[in-house]
Every structure is written in C-alpha cells, then in structure tokens.
Amino acid sequence: MNDRLGNFLNFADLALHRLESILNIFSGLIVFGLMFLGVVQILLRTVFRAPIFGYIDIVEIAMVGFAVLAISYVQRVGGHVRMELFVSKLKGRAHWLAETVSTALGLFIVGVLIPYSYFHFERAFNIGDSTIDIEIVTWPAKLVVPVALSVLLIRLLIQLGGYIRLTINPSLDPVAIPLLKDVEDIAKEEIRQAAEDA
C-alpha cells in the first residue's frame, strides 16, 4: 500500500529529530555548566568567603535554556508528564482520536504562547533590559523561549498528522508519534538496556 503521508511524516520526524537532539544536548550542557558553577560558588563562598559576583543573575539567565530547549525532544519521545489514565484505556480509532484532540489542544496553547513570548523578547530588546547585579542583557534568553516553542509547534504538527493518519486508518503502523508504554514494557526495556550495558 502506498502510504505517502506516512513516508512524509517519517521524513519530517527524522529531520526535526536532528535539531531536537542538538537542542537537547545544548540544554544538558547548560545543566552541567550550572552544576559545576554551583560547586565552584559553594567552595568560593565557604572556603574563601568570596562568592561569584552575579551568580544569581547567571543562574537566572541560564535557567531559561535548560527549561525550554529540550521541550520538543521530550515531546518526541513521550517523556513528558501527561494524563494517561483515560487515554491508555482506549483502543483503536477512539484512542487515536483522543490523541488527536489532545495534540490539537496542545498546538493551540503553544500557538498562543509563541507570539506573547516573542513580544517579551522584543520589549526586552528595545528597552535594553538587563539583570540587576551584573547587568546581563536578557533578550537572548527571552528569544530562546519563542524559538524553542516554535520547534515544539512543528513537532506537534508532525504528531497531529500521525494521529490523524491513524484515526483514519488504525491498521497502519504508527509513524512519528510516541507510543504509550505500560509498566511491563518499561521494565522490559530497562532490563534489555541493562543487559546491553553489562
């Protein structure tokens, strides 16, 4: 059977996954950098009585990066917190329809947030907003939010296409969507990974 939509969604999923992986790695590096900076801050403050000047400002700016950069990656792998009690009980077309509706709702919310987060960036850029202590300009951090949300919007569009495709024909193989895993599947996957690492 010729599944053009499935092929397109698979291609779009893999293409966006590359960008999401880069953003996820960058987010992880920010977390690692903040952890290292925190250790240095504690040592300097307790041993030498000389804390890092502007430490709170640095953390405030960096928090934006690790809070939103990996959001699309987490959506792709289905690692986000979601209400599965109802959806997991559904089967077939009803299940995919419920996923379609919830994804469409997510798309609406993200679509509303993007312009408002961009306005915050634009205002900070125009007035030259900065942090209090060491006066780090805030607009780069505020620009990260609409950029990360835009990537999430594309991810949600791809997933919406995947759910609509399965709502129309539930017999097709799932493409470009995270699959729900029950406790047994998660346990088996962890055992398999542990065996491979050993």
- The pLDDT tens digits of the residues spanning 51-104 come to 999 999 999 999 999 899 999 999 998 877 676 777 778 889 999 999 999 999
In this model, does residue 196 exceed pLDDT 70? yes
| pLDDT tens column, 3-32 | 899 999 999 999 999 999 999 999 999 999
Cβ neighbors of 58 (< 8 A, separation 6 or more) are 37, 52, 134, 136
Q: Are 58 and 130 in contact (CB under 8 A)?
A: no
> Which residue range is the domain that position 88 belongs to?
4-197
Residue type, 7: N
| Residue among 66, 47, 43, 67 at smallest CA distance from 55 | 43
Domains in the chain, number:
1
Q: Is 137 helix (H, G, I), strand (E, B) or coil?
A: strand
Q: Are 118 and 146 in contact (CB under 8 A)?
A: yes
Q: How far apart are CA 78 and CA 6, in angstroms?
A: 19
